[in-house]
Amino acid sequence: MRVALALLLTCGVRASEALGFVFDDVDFERGTAQVRFQMGRDGRRARIKTDRRSARARRAVPVVPSPLAQLREWRLMSRWSADSDLILTNSRGRTMGYWALRDELADVFEAAGIANASPHTLRHTYASRLIADGRSLEFVADQMGISSTTAHTVYIHSYRARQEAEASRDALEAVYGAMIQGR
């Protein structure tokens, strides 16, 4: 579950996209993963369809060094480690499936004392973290494979809260900073 948790939390991919990753999708040298496929409800890996509204769905996402190291280690330990093998598998090398992923992560969330979380919660956490770190909504949309309209609709409250906090901090510093430092 560490690999699944790392992919969902640090790449912002959907559960179906994480379940569709094969080792060949990960460029270990560049530290990126190609999001081109997703696992369907029928347990088959399918190319992500794009249309006008979801033109960003197929994308390359950065993979943070720690999860990348976990992926390397997982590949070395796994019985299924060929380029075309799924990364997240069951004990027979087939897709873990969404419900198994959700149930396994529910145990992780419960052990961490996190209530009412799902794999999708990790996707929102990823987006919220990007916004808190000062990234634009356009960048968030690109990373998550959603339209900028969707990013704006879903995350504008987080974006505005960060902007308001920065403006408030700057205003308070301008008014009281010199006084507090004794100038």
Residue 180 has pLDDT above 90, yes or no: no
Domains belonging to the chain, first-starting first, are 2-180 (1.10.443.10)
The tens digit of pLDDT for each residue in 91-133 reads 999 999 999 999 999 999 999 999 999 999 999 999 989 988 8
**d(C-alpha 52, C-alpha 55), whole Å:** 6
Read off the pTM: 0.82
Instruction: Give me the pLDDT at residue 52, please.
Output: 59
Beta bridge partners of 32: 27, 62
CA-closest candidate to residue 25, choices 84, 96, 93:
84
CA angle 170, 175, 180 (to 5 degrees): 100
For residue 61, give the nearest of 6, 98, 2 by alpha carbon. Answer: 6
Q: Hey, is 123 helix, strand or coil?
A: helix
Selection from 41, 4, 37 nearest residue 21 by Cα: 37
pLDDT category at 54 given cuts 50, 70, 90 is low
Residue bearing the bigger pLDDT, 152 or 113: 113
In this predicted structure, what is the pLDDT of residue 50? 74
